[in-house]
Amino acid sequence: MTIDVKQFGKVAVVCGGSSTEREVSLNSGKAVLDALLAQGVDAHHFDPKETDISKLREYDRVFNILHGTFGEDGSLQGVLDGFNIPYTGCGVLASAIAMDKFRCRLVWQSLGLPNVPYVVLNDDSDFAAVEAQFGLPLFVKPAAEGSSVGVIMVEEKGQLEKVYPTLKQYHGAILAEKAITGGEYACSILGDDALPSIRIIPTGKFYDYEAKYQRNDTVYQCPSDLTPEQEQQMQQLAIKAFDAVGGKGWGRVDFLKDDAGQLYVLELNTVPGMTNHSLVPKAANAKGINFEQLCVTILAQTLV
């Protein structure tokens, strides 16, 4: 389908911001901006850390690639709704729920979707009992950060209690969860469809911030190693998980697989990365959609 890019008008590519994911967002924003400009879109860089957010009233629509706090948690979406400016991706409610891994999992649990076993930690938690419950290694993470910011693998007895205070600086509840080690996967959503899954094989112990954005030795298998039945199941689960929070436009659902082949929904990203390391572009490419086409397709969803 050919899209007349003139109908987009003046487009703000919103990126950067002040969250812990600022640098990733700037990289994503540059890639998106370059792609839209190459397709003839009247697109402009917009960093809310440097420009008053009210200036967005000067634009016809927004490509939101502002990762983390403010851009991904419903805040920017609420501002844009108030300005009556169309924007890419999920709305206020879906963004807010998805950004909070704990409450997102509560929604998924209510629908019977397979969740990674977890507990919420607090100052009175019996940390030794949590280590015994899940076994070692286990993972501990802040519930409302992205890009694996703050994620720690606990490998030694007594370590959970020691690292817990360091996570209080981040947003949201603090979660401890069972380590599921049969494989890490991502399944992206574009419109009403799921794209081919990707298996992620980090060289380090897990898919951390460094593996996502700084290393060049992380292996991405797309198509992944799933059987046709598992692939179908993952795509169906991804769509259900996305729909459960009221998702729209595009996103990415992350999964874990255990050694027996059971799939678990891990988290939902409503403003996924769009760097040269990112997963949505890799999945789209596997379906014959290049990066420029992908960016225009996402932006075109604001016309509906």
Task: Give the catalytic positions in this structure.
Answer: 21, 147, 213, 252, 254, 267, 269, 273
DSSP code, position 11? E
117 prior amide bond cis, ω within 30: no
Q: Which amino acid is at 30?
A: K
* In the chain, alpha helices (H): 22-38, 75-83, 92-99, 101-110, 127-134, 159-163, 209-213, 228-244, 279-286, 291-300
Q: Which two tokens stand for residue 101?
A: 């891994």
d(CA 64, CA 271): 7
CA 299 distance to own-chain centroid: 18
What are the distances in angstroms from CA 280 to CA 165, 167, 251, 259? Answer: 34, 28, 8, 26
Q: Which two tokens stand for residue 289?
A: 């959609």
DSSP code, position 275? S
The residue assigned the tokens 């929604």 is 107
272 prior amide bond cis, ω within 30: no
Three-state secondary structure call for residue 61 = strand
